Amino acid sequence: MNVTRAQQIFYSEQNYQVLFNGSPIWIEGLNADNQTAKIRSLNGDENLKEVPVTELVES
């Protein structure tokens, strides 16, 4: 995924399924300067991770 698409998903009122390493996630925040996203797993892991936006996949 690219930063532009991640921003569209983040600011959208619709829900989109986004995956990180095959697992569904929620985008909590974006940093366009370094092209990373703060994500939270939807599989019960409450920890935030900062990952490259290019590793996110819209399904």
Residue-level pLDDT at 44: 82
**Single pTM value for the model:** 0.91
Per CATH, is 3-58 categorized as 2.30.30? Answer: yes
Determine the Cα–Cα distance for residues 2 and 21; give it in Å rounded to an integer: 16
Mean pLDDT of the chain: 95
Q: What is the dihedral of CA 8, 13, 14, 20, to 10 degrees?
A: 50
Q: What is the pLDDT of residues 43-58, one digit of tens each?
A: 887 789 999 999 999 9
Residue-level pLDDT at 45: 76
Classified as helix, coil or strand, 3 is helix
The residues spanned by each domain of the chain are: 3-58
For residues 4-18, b (16+ Cβ closer than 10 Å) or e, as one string?
A: eebeebeeeeeeeeb
Whose structure tokens read 């900062």? 50
- The series of mean pLDDT values per 10 residues for the chain, 59 residues long, is 96 96 96 96 89 97
